[in-house]
Amino acid sequence: NVDLIVSDTRSYRSKHPVPGQIALEISGNARYIAPVELVKISDAGREWNNGNPPEFIQLGENRIPNLRKDSPRGTMLGPDQKNWVKQMLKESDAVWKVFASSVPMMPMRLDLNQVNPEAANAIFTTDTWEGYLSEREELLKFLKDEGIDNFISLAGDNHNSFAGVLKDDFESPNAVNVGAEFTVCGISSTSVFHALTAIIGEDDPMRPVVTFDSRPHGGTNPSVENLNTSFMWGTQAAIGAARTGSGDKVNEMRNPTQNPHLRYVDSAAYGIAVVEFDEKHAKCDFIVIAMPGAKEPADGVFRRRATLEIPVRNGSEDDNYDLKITSIEGTPPFPL
């Protein structure tokens, strides 16, 4: 049922598309957050605009030197490993082609321009395939062009758990599903949610995008995991939830273009994932525990088990080919 293709996404990759110091200045000390357009131009290097990259990249009032204008386009795998991965995928006769990638392929973006017209649609971290957009697109288009079905990416190193479908072109509204991805949290490394709540102050205007206190709205949670709302439905929806404590506001203000490939996210997760494959389905159980090292909660260590499934595909364009949540046992990660 499975061919497992294990990759090395650290040894052969080119440098991050946005140099560290520039990234820190743009994002306000968030090392890997960067505007989408900046990453696209930087990653393409000298190939941007049919070989005519700009000397400077204009971002609002900021004019940033294009330090990658003379560089080759970015690579995550390096040419030899990339060709080997393609060969393994093409030659596989297993039902499922499973790609072990230490970092996620799927975009995780924040539509900050929805709450601040001067802000940009931002890539949450360029330390994943989001920093290597052209090579990711090349591989995913290869799956489509070669008719390779049932591709699954297994990833981690993102300090949260999430899952969704992989598209042949994440920038196109007409893209098609070419696979799915399950990305697992760490067992004890600080989650994205807890890291951000620790550094974003109570009076910071961005705090509602990450968390809010539900008690003034009649709830019981002093730190709602609202970052999940931002990833799933957009920052406007998250701020609407924070202001009103209302799930209706989330639906009313949701951004339909916000990470439309995403099916599940748990930004405060600690735990493991168990993935099972058979001739009909791929199934992933995200098993989440309370934060290690914290005082054991009254209701125990177990927090939730979320199960997602995707059916096998054999060249069909069936609309049912999608990743779906089939059950959530315990407290759901979505706050409202």
Cα dist from 98 to 6, 64, 95, 150, 179, whole Å: 8, 39, 10, 8, 10
Mean predicted confidence (pLDDT) in 283-303: 87
| pLDDT tens digits along 252-274 | 899 999 999 999 999 999 999 99
In angstroms, the CA 31 to CA 25 distance is 9
The gap between the terminal CA atoms of the chain, to the nearest Å, is 38
Residue 22 pLDDT > 80, yes or no? no
* pTM exceeds 0.85, yes or no: yes
Tell whether the model's pLDDT for residue 26 goes beyond 70: no
Q: What is the pLDDT of residue 28?
A: 60
Instruction: Give the contacts of 12 (CB within 8 A, at least 6 positions apart).
Output: 75, 76, 77, 78, 80, 81
Report residue 317's pLDDT band, with 50, 70 and 90 as the boundaries.
Answer: low
pLDDT of residue 320: 62
Query: Could you report the per-residue pLDDT of 184-241, keeping only the tens digit for each?
Result: 999 999 999 999 999 999 998 889 999 999 999 988 889 999 999 999 999 999 999 9
Query: Position of tokens 């991050």?
Result: 16
The Cα–Cα gap between 145 and 5 comes to 19
Q: Is residue 123 a contact partner of residue 33, using CB atoms and an 8 Å limit?
A: yes
pLDDT of residue 220: 87
Taking phi over 0 as left and psi of -120 to 50 as alpha, with beta for the rest, 218 belongs to: left
Check residue 27 and give its pLDDT.
61
Mean pLDDT of the chain: 91
Amino acid sitting at position 228:
N
Of residues 8 and 292, more confidently modeled: 8
Interatomic CA distance for residues 14 and 204, integer angstroms: 35
**The pLDDT of residue 182 is above 80:** yes
Q: At what angle do helices 133-145 and 79-91 cross, to 10 degrees?
A: 20
Q: What is the pLDDT of residues 60-119, one digit of tens each?
A: 778 888 999 999 999 999 999 999 999 999 999 999 999 999 999 999 999 988 887 777
Mean pLDDT throughout 171-191? Answer: 94
Distance between CA atoms of residues 231 and 26, nearest Å: 21
Q: Given pLDDT bands bounded at 50, 70 and 90, which one contains residue 316?
A: low
Mean pLDDT across 322-326: 95
Query: How does pLDDT run across 29-76, given as a tens digit for each residue?
Result: 566 788 999 999 999 999 999 999 999 998 877 888 899 999 999 999
Res 335: pLDDT: 60
